């Protein structure tokens, strides 16, 4: 900071030293030393003033009676305060004489802008005529321009006469010093002044563009915008009032009034913006009322300049300059507070503002004629820009340091982030590799994209690879493949809504004997175009199987409800298929296809989808053969055989007639026989026939117990073989239905408690066996239900019964083995601590015993540890036999 302060002071000292070096007296008739005549000097005093008249040079030499009104300094002359102008005239003739060395070559006289209108003669020759000087505002035509006069003096004196009027301005004369000297020196000084102004303007322009760009990048901060405006205002002031007076130099016929208005407008803009900018930078130090006051004065002066004549604008300039200077000193004091608080950049900014303030005060006092000095605004402005550049450099340096720290932190964060991403990717990959569903992407060509889940290969049963055509994974014929391809391509065409297009795609596809469920979702790119199809893959084989079983149940129920019609359909279908074997030649193909198409619709109506699908595939064959028809006949027979326990349809007896009778039909028959006096023998015969007609086989009454047994075994994960003997025995369903229907409890208990797990069966087969045997003997109906499981342990039964308070210790001690085993029929007895889907409630065995005893029957239990258990159920066939047994 000390070095920077020294540089600033050095610049100012150099400026004043240059002034002292160039400044010298120029009174008429005064002779200077030869070396002084070779320098550029300032014309700043000793002008003879002739107020109120315009005299040409020859007139002045012939005038003997008119003496000069006095001597004046023409620089920034205030005619109202000139001692020699008591009437306050604003026009007149002014004359001075300069000493020169005629042997030194051509001389140059620099005439800056003269306010108002002017004419200039040198040694009786008119060189300058700017505007029309007049004795009033109406008579005056103002025009101002910078001029450099080149002259080869013939004597040692330059006699300069000036006609000058200034009724459109408050002041008269030149606002910058006139200069003279050797022409090459004047020309060199003029070029240097222009270059210095251009250099300063370039620096200010760069600073302005930089801050405007900074504002555009960060619009939320207003400081760069106002500093850029401040710089632009300084550019206008420098271009008009700078040492090189650039605007007057570059324009041949400048608009004088317009230039002055630009200059005067830029001044309050620069002052007001600078104060507001400082307030934004240091809001805690800069008083708000100070900024508002300066902004108010600036607005008033701006309005005067914009709308009032230039005379009043120049008249208002002095008080406004005074307010700006006083405000500047106050602002400098407040900036000092920011420096003491060590606000960032405050010291350099304070020094730069001090330079601007000193330069402004110097120029104001010089223009008002208070001091005799040179314009140093360009030096103070350059100093301010230099300090701002140093401040920006420091901020850039700090920003770069922070940037390096930030980069290091970012690198560290990136490393950590990459590690997190890698870990997260591994986690996601692990999840995707172990998820049960498969996920994959396909593009518009239906090619599988990289990144599919590992489960895809497991579910699809093949090695899935990126780039594989998705449709090639499935076992579908050419027609279905084309249909599916067109449906998927329609999704990518994006013509219809996603739901509609995806809904056209068959969501279940076969692979071998399995069914694959496909769920699709659209993924779009940034242009909202369909980029991929996300396909979720699941094995739906079990679901399809369950659906088929449910559908089969509905099919069997439908057949049972229309058994007569169904048998008729079977009879006619099998007959027509046998006859069609004789039509397999070329001429009969059409008739066979008509037959098959009819059969496909008939079987589909009953829900026999597998047979209908088989016929559908047969229709795709180019030629139908007898083998095709035999396969279809075999499929029909297989269906009937697989469900014979429910349908009881024998393909060989389809021609038999089946009739339906209701219970009241039998009652009506007996009543009519008795009413018509039928013999007792006939009545007995009819009664015997009715009893026989009412009976059904044990298999029909017990239902699909074989399938139920295997289903229950599968639920608990046990492999069991079920065997039933004597299922064709006819029984009275009304009498024995409760006993027969309760047998399922014995089956459940055998599966849940009796049959061991495969690893527990020892030398026995891993497959457990459950059997039911039915027979008649001695007017009694016998049912045996047994298994080859672990058997029943009487001690365990006794302990469980005691724990459930079914018996006490004394009762247990007196009970026989048979009595202990029959404890399992007690309500609430169960060896399970928890209720399962199969057993544990303690009500099933009790219900079975109650049903048997109600019919006068009995139940015996035979069990052997490790060999199994058999339940013997015996029920009287007739009510009379039951009474006799009782």
Nearest to 264 by CA among 203, 300, 317, 197: 317
Cross-strand pairs, 768: 720
Q: Estimate to the nearest angstrom the gap between the alpha carbon of 682 and the chain centroid.
A: 93
CA atoms of 634 and 612, how far apart (whole Å) = 14
What are the two backbone dihedrals, phi and then psi, of residue 152, each rounded to the nearest 5 degrees? -105, 95
CB 805 within 8 A of CB 795: no
Query: What is the DSSP code string of 267-301?
Result: HHHHHHHHHHHHHHH-TTTS-HHHHHHHHHHHHHH
- Pairing type for strands 768-777 and 720-725 reads parallel
Which pLDDT value is given to residue 165? 94
Encoded tokens for 509: 């596809």
What are the two backbone dihedrals, phi and then psi, of residue 473, each rounded to the nearest 5 degrees? -80, -15
Nearest to 384 by CA among 232, 200, 541, 255: 200
Identical fold, 24-183 and 545-653: no
Q: Which CATH architecture has domain 696-885?
A: 2-Layer Sandwich (3.30)
Q: Angle at CA 387, nearest 5°, toward 383 and 389?
A: 115
CA atoms of 838 and 854, how far apart (whole Å) = 25
* CATH, domain range 24-183: 2.60.120.260
Which pLDDT value is given to residue 162? 94
CB 654 within 8 A of CB 570: yes
Residues near 511 by beta carbon (within 8 Å), at least 6 away in sequence: 460, 461, 462, 473, 474, 475
Domain boundaries, the chain: 24-183, 193-396, 435-539, 545-653, 663-694, 696-885
Which pLDDT value is given to residue 135? 92
Which pLDDT value is given to residue 31? 41
SS3 for 564-612, per residue? HHHHHHHHHHHHHHHHHHHHCCHHHHHHHHHHHHHHHHHHHHCCCHHHH
Alpha helices for 342-450 (secondary structure H) = 346-367, 377-434
Alpha helices for 242-376 (secondary structure H) = 246-250, 256-281, 288-307, 310-340, 346-367
Which pLDDT value is given to residue 289? 92
CB 178 within 8 A of CB 113: no
Nearest to 602 by CA among 627, 636, 573: 573
* pTM listed for this prediction: 0.46
Residues near 414 by beta carbon (within 8 Å), at least 6 away in sequence: none
CA atoms of 839 and 745, how far apart (whole Å) = 8
Longest CA pairwise span in the chain (Å): 190
Angle at which helices 256-281 and 310-340 cross, to 10°? 20
CA atoms of 125 and 56, how far apart (whole Å) = 10
Which pLDDT value is given to residue 54? 93
Which pLDDT value is given to residue 434? 63
* CATH, domain range 545-653: 1.20.120
Cross-strand pairs, 871: 785, 861
pLDDT along the chain (886 residues), means of 10: 38 37 36 61 84 89 77 84 85 91 86 90 92 92 89 88 92 85 88 84 84 85 85 84 77 76 86 88 88 92 88 85 87 85 80 79 68 65 74 71 80 78 69 72 88 82 86 84 87 86 84 85 89 86 79 78 75 81 76 80 81 84 83 84 75 65 72 75 74 75 81 87 88 83 85 87 89 90 92 88 85 85 83 51 74 90 90 80 40
Residues near 320 by beta carbon (within 8 Å), at least 6 away in sequence: 268, 297, 298, 300, 301
Indicate the fold that domain 435-539 takes in CATH: Beta-Lactamase (3.30.450)
CA atoms of 112 and 369, how far apart (whole Å) = 16
């Amino acid at each position: 900071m000390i070095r920077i302060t020294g540089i600033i002071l050095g610049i100012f000292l150099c400026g004043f030293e240059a002034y002292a070096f160039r400044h010298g007296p120029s009174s008429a008739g005064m002779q200077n030393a030869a070396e002084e005549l070779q320098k550029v000097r300032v014309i700043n005093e000793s002008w003879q003033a002739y107020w109120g008249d315009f005299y040409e040079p020859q007139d002045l030499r012939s005038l003997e009676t008119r003496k000069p009104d006095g001597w004046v300094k023409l620089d920034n002359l205030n005619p109202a305060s000139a001692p020699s102008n008591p009437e306050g005239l604003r026009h007149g003739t002014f004359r001075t004489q300069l000493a020169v060395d005629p042997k030194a070559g051509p001389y140059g006289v620099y005439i800056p802008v003269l306010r108002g209108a002017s004419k200039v003669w040198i040694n009786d020759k008119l060189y300058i005529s700017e505007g029309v000087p007049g004795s009033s505002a109406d008579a005056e035509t103002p025009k101002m321009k910078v001029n450099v006069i080149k002259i080869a003096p013939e004597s040692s004196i330059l006699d300069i006469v000036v006609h000058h009027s200034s009724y459109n301005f408050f002041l008269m004369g030149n606002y910058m010093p006139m200069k003279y000297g050797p022409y090459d020196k004047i020309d060199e000084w003029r070029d240097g002044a222009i270059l210095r102004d251009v250099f300063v303007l370039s620096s200010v322009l760069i600073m302005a563009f930089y801050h405007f760009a900074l504002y555009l990048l960060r619009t939320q901060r207003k400081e760069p915008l106002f500093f850029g405006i401040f710089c632009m205002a300084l550019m206008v002031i420098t271009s008009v009032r700078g040492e090189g007076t650039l605007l007057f130099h570059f324009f041949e016929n400048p608009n004088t009034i317009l230039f002055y208005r630009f200059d005067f407008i830029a001044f309050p803009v620069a002052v007001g913006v600078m104060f507001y900018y400082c307030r934004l930078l240091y809001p805690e130090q800069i008083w708000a009322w100070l900024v508002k006051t300066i902004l108010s004065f600036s607005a008033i002066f701006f309005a005067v300049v914009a709308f009032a004549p230039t005379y009043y604008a120049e008249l208002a300039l002095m008080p406004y300059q005074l307010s700006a200077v006083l405000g500047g000193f106050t602002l400098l004091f407040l900036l000092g507070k920011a420096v003491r608080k060590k606000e960032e950049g405050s010291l350099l900014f304070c020094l730069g503002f001090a330079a601007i303030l000193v330069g402004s005060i110097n120029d104001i006092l010089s223009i008002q004629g208070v001091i005799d000095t040179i314009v140093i605004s360009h030096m103070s402005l350059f100093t301010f820009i230099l300090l701002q550049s140093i401040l920006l450099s420091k901020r850039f340096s700090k920003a770069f340091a922070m940037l390096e720290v930030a980069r290091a932190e970012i690198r560290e964060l990136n490393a950590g982030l990459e590690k997190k991403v890698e870990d997260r990717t591994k986690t996601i990959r692990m999840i995707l590799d172990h998820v049960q569903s498969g996920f994959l992407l396909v593009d518009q060509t239906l090619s599988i994209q990289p990144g599919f889940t590992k489960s895809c290969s497991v579910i699809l049963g093949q090695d899935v690879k990126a780039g594989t055509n998705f449709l090639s994974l499935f076992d579908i014929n050419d027609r279905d493949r084309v249909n599916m391809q067109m449906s998927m391509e329609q999704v990518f065409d994006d013509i219809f809504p996603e739901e509609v297009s995806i809904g056209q795609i068959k969501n279940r596809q076969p692979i071998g004997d399995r069914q694959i469920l496909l769920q699709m979702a659209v993924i779009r790119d940034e242009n909202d175009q369909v980029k991929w199809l996300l396909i979720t893959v699941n094995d739906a084989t079990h679901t399809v199987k369950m659906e088929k079983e449910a559908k089969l149940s509905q099919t069997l129920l439908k057949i049972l409800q229309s058994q007569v019609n169904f048998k008729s359909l079977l009879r006619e279908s099998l007959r027509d298929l046998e006859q069609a074997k004789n039509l397999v030649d070329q001429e009969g193909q059409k008739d066979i296809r008509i037959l098959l198409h009819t059969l496909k619709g008939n079987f589909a109506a009953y829900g026999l989808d597998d047979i209908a699908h088989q016929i559908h595939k047969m229709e795709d064959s180019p030629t139908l053969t007898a083998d095709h028809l035999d396969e279809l006949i075999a499929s029909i027979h297989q269906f009937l055989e697989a469900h014979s326990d429910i349908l009881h349809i024998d393909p060989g007896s389809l021609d038999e007639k089946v009739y339906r009778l209701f219970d009241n039909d039998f009652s009506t028959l007996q009543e009519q026989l008795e009413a018509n006096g039928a013999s007792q023998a006939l009545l007995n015969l009819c009664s015997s026939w009715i009893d026989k007609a009412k009976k059904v086989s044990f298999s029909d009454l017990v239902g699909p117990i074989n399938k139920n047994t295997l289903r229950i075994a599968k639920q608990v994960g046990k492999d069991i073989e079920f065997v039933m003997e004597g299922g064709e025995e006819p029984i009275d369903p009304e009498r024995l239905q409760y006993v027969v229907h309760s047998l399922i409890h014995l089956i459940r208990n055998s599966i849940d408690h009796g049959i061991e797990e495969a690893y527990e069966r020892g030398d026995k087969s891993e497959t457990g066996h459950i059997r039911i045997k039915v027979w008649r003997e001695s007017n009694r109906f016998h049912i045996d239900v047994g298994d080859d499981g672990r058997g029943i342990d009487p001690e365990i039964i006794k302990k469980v019964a005691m724990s459930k308070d079914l018996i006490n210790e004394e009762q247990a001690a007196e009970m026989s083995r048979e009595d202990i085993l029959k404890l399992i029929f007690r309500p609430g007895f169960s060896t399970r601590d928890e209720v399962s889907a199969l057993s544990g409630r303690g009500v099933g065995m009790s219900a079975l015993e109650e049903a048997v005893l109600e019919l006068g029957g009995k139940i015996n239990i035979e069990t052997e540890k490790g060999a199994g258990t058999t339940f013997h159920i015996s029920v009287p066939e007739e009510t009379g036999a039951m009474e006799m047994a009782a």
